[in-house]
Structure 1
Amino acid sequence: MWPARMWKSPALLARSSVALTLTRANSKEEQQDKGWFRSFFVHTVNQRKDAHSNLLSKKETSSLYKMQFHNVKPECLDVYNNLSGQILQKLHNDPEYPCEIVGSWNTLYGEQDQAVHLWRFSGGYPALTDAMEKLLQNKEYLEYRKERSKMLLSRKNQLLLEFSFWNEPLPRRGPNIYELRTYYLKPGTMIEWGNNWARAIRFRQENNEAVGGFFSLVGDLYVVHHLWAYTDLQSRQETRNAAWQKPGWDDCVYYTVPLIRYMESRIMMPLKVSTLQ
C-alpha cells in the first residue's frame, strides 16, 4: 500500500489537475495583460541608419531657424516690444545680415508676458555664424541687449529645421491669431512622428491654417513645433472640429499620441515687426 500521506483519491487528483490548468491559464492571461498594459508605456523604435534631421528636413533649402522665448517682467512688456521692434526691423531689412525675422509675437494664452521670435538663417550654420559674429560688432545691438537684460526674467532659444512636408512660413496678412503647439516626444520617435504627419498634414491645409512645422536640433531635443494661423478663437475651434470629420485624421492622432511625453499650446498675437500678421 502507498503511505497515507502520498495517496490521493481520484476526485482529489482531478480537482488538482483542474486547479493546475486554471493556474497556468491565469498566469498566461496575467502575462498578456501585463504586455497589453506595458504597451502604453514602452514604445518600440525601429533601428535607423541615418539621422532624423537628414531624413525629415527639406533638401531643396538650407534654411536654419532659431526660436527665442523671452519671459518679460510684466511692467516692462510695452517698452520691450517697442525697443525690440525697432532693432529687429533694422536687422531684418539690413542686407549685410543673413537673417530675417519670420514671426514675432506676444502670448495671449499660455505663458503670460512672453515674447516669441522666429528667425530664419538662409544658408544654414555658416549664415548663423556670420550673423552672430556681425552682431557682436554692432554697438546698437549690444546696447539693445544690455537694456533688454533689465526687462527679462528668463530666456531660452532653440535651433530648428523645418519638416519637408510642411508649408514654408511665408508672410501673410492679418489680422490673425497664431497657435504654437509644442510637442515633447519620446527619444527615438521623431521619424515615426514625421511619417504620420506627412500623411495627415493635408487634412489641415484646406483653410490655409498650416503655417510651419519645425523640429529641434539644439536646445531641448526631440521637440516639435507646429505653427497655425486662425482669424480668431472661434474659427480655431471650428477648423479643429472639422478635421475630425475627415477619414484618416483620427489615425494620425491615434498613432502619434503614444509618442508624446507632454505638450503645450500658446495662443499668440503678432507684433508689428512680424511678417506673419
Structure 2
Amino acid sequence: MSAILRSQASFARAALVSSSRAASIQSSRAATLPMVTRALSSAKNSAGGTTDAEGSDNNNKDSSNSKPLGKVSGIVNSILHGSGTLPKIQSQESWGVSLARGKYVHELQRHRIRPERFDDYVQLLSDVFPRIVKESNNKIRLTGSWLTEIGELDTAGNREHSSVSVNLAYAFHIWEFEGYLGHAQEMDRLRKDPTYQKFLKDLRPMLISRDNQICLEFAFWKSRPPVALGGIYEMRTYLLKPGNLLEWETNWRRGLECRRQFCEPVGAWFSQLGKLNYVHHMWNYPDLETRKKTREQAWKVDGWAETVYNTVRLIENMEANILLPMDFSSLK
C-alpha cells in the first residue's frame, strides 16, 4: 500500500511540474506575440499597408506576391533569433581612397644621427640628395629635408658642430613619388644603381637608427611646392587610436579654416605603410614668438576650441618638433 501511495505522490509532483512549465511557456508566448504583432504592423505600415492582429493584409490580398513580406519575415527573424548581419565598417584602405588627394605618395624618413658623425652626415646628404633628384628626371622630388632644433636632441654630450649652434640628433626627409607605381619603379632603379648603393653603405655607420613611412596627402591639404619661406618649421605628429582616422579628418578639416586665417599650412599626411595610425602636419613660422601669437589668435575664432576638443580625445600620443631646413632642402 505504501508503495502505491508513493507512486501516486510522485506522479502528482510530475504533473504539477509539467503544468507549471506549460504555463510558463504559454506566458512567454503571450508576452512575445504582441511584440511580433507590433513589429509586423509597423513593417507593413512603413511599406504602405496595414496588418491586423491575425496577420491579414487589408490593402494587398495577394500576400504571396507582396514584397514587404521579405522585410517582415526579416524583422520577425531578428526578434526571435537576433540580427544575422554585422554592421559594415569602412576599412583603412577605403579611408585612404576617400581621404587622400590621390596623386602622390610621400615617403617620410627619419634619421637619428650619431653625434660624432654629424658633419659627415650633412656633407654626404648635401652631395647625394640633389643628385638623386636630378638623375631621376624629376620622377623623385624632394619635398624637404630638415634637422631638429627642438625635439629629439642629442643627450650624449655638449658637442658643438660647425654648421649649427645646437646639438642635433634627428633629420627628417620627405620624398614625393607619382603614386605607388612611381615609388616602386624608382626604388627598383636605385637598387640597381651602384652609386646609390655606395651612398647607403657610407650612410649606415653615420646613423643610430632610421625609419620610414609611406604616407598619403590629405585631400584638403595640398603640399607646398619648392619655395624659400625662411624661419622655422614645425612638424606635429599624432598617433591616433585605431579606427579614428576618419573622425579626426572630419573635425580637423573644419578646424583648419580657423588656423588658415593666421598661418598657411605646409602639408599634412597620414601613414599607410610602416607605423600605422599616424598623422603628420607641418607649419612654417618666422620664429617661435610668431608661432605663439598665431596659436593664441586661433583660440579666439569660433570653432577652434571645438576642433581641439573633438580631436584630442582621438589621440594616443602627440609630438611637436621644431625644424630647420638643410641648405639643399626644396622647402626652406
Q: Judging by fraction of residues, say which structure has more helix.
A: 2
Deviation at 1:172, TM superposition (A): 2.1
Q: Does 1:128 find its partner at 2:183?
A: yes
SS of match in other structure, 2:101: coil
Q: Does 1:72 find its partner at 2:127?
A: no
Q: Which residue of 1 aligns with 2:78?
A: none
User: What CA distance in whole angstroms lies between the structure 1 residues aligned with 2:243 and 2:206?
Assistant: 38
Q: Which residue of 1 aligns with 2:95?
A: 52
Q: Which moved more, 1:206-215 or 1:158-167?
A: 206-215
TM-score by length of 2: 0.67
Equivalent residues in 2 for 1:215-234, closer than 5 Å? 215-234=270-289
Q: Which residue of 2 aligns with 1:182?
A: 237
Equivalent residues in 2 for 1:97-136, closer than 5 Å? 98-112=139-153, 113-122=169-178, 124-136=179-191
Q: Residue deviations 1:123-145, cap 9 Å, x none? A: x1111111111111211111111
Name the aligned partner's letter for residue 172 of structure 2: V
Deviation at 1:91, TM superposition (A): 1.2
TM-score by length of 1: 0.79
User: What CA distance in whole angstroms lies between the structure 2 residues aligned with 1:231 and 1:54?
Assistant: 35
Equivalent residues in 2 for 1:204-243, closer than 5 Å? 204-243=259-298
Q: Which residue of 2 aligns with 1:20?
A: none
Contact 2:240–2:277, Cα closer than 8 Å, also in 1: yes
Q: Residue deviations 1:137-164, cap 9 Å, x none? A: 2111111110110100001000000001
Contact 2:238–2:319, Cα closer than 8 Å, also in 1: yes
**Runs of 5+ unmatched residues, structure 1:** 1-45
Contact 1:71–1:152, Cα closer than 8 Å, also in 2: yes
Q: Which residue of 2 aligns with 1:155?
A: 210
Q: Residue deviations 1:191-245, cap 9 Å, x none? A: 0001001111111223443100100001111100011111111111111111101
Q: Does 1:89 find its partner at 2:120?
A: no
Deviation at 1:97, TM superposition (A): 6.0
SS of match in other structure, 1:141: helix
**Runs of 5+ unmatched residues, structure 2:** 1-86, 154-168
Contact 1:166–1:201, Cα closer than 8 Å, also in 2: no
SS of match in other structure, 2:309: helix
Name the aligned partner's letter for residue 275 of structure 1: S
User: What CA distance in whole angstroms lies between the structure 2 residues aligned with 1:48 and 1:160?
Assistant: 22
Deviation at 1:47, TM superposition (A): 5.3
Higher relative contact order (CA 8 A, sep 6+): 1
Equivalent residues in 2 for 1:185-196, closer than 5 Å? 185-196=240-251
Contact 2:140–2:176, Cα closer than 8 Å, also in 1: yes
User: What CA distance in whole angstroms lies between the structure 1 residues aligned with 2:256 and 2:313?
Assistant: 18
User: What CA distance in whole angstroms lies between the structure 1 residues aligned with 2:227 and 2:299?
Assistant: 26
Contact 1:180–1:227, Cα closer than 8 Å, also in 2: yes
User: What CA distance in whole angstroms lies between the structure 1 residues aligned with 2:121 and 2:142?
Assistant: 16
Q: Does 1:256 find its partner at 2:311?
A: yes
User: What CA distance in whole angstroms lies between the structure 2 residues aligned with 1:95 and 1:49?
Assistant: 37
User: What CA distance in whole angstroms lies between the structure 2 residues aligned with 1:76 and 1:237?
Assistant: 34
User: What CA distance in whole angstroms lies between the structure 2 residues aligned with 1:148 and 1:173?
Assistant: 27
SS of match in other structure, 1:150: helix
Q: Does 1:170 find its partner at 2:170?
A: no
Q: Which residue of 2 aligns with 1:32?
A: none
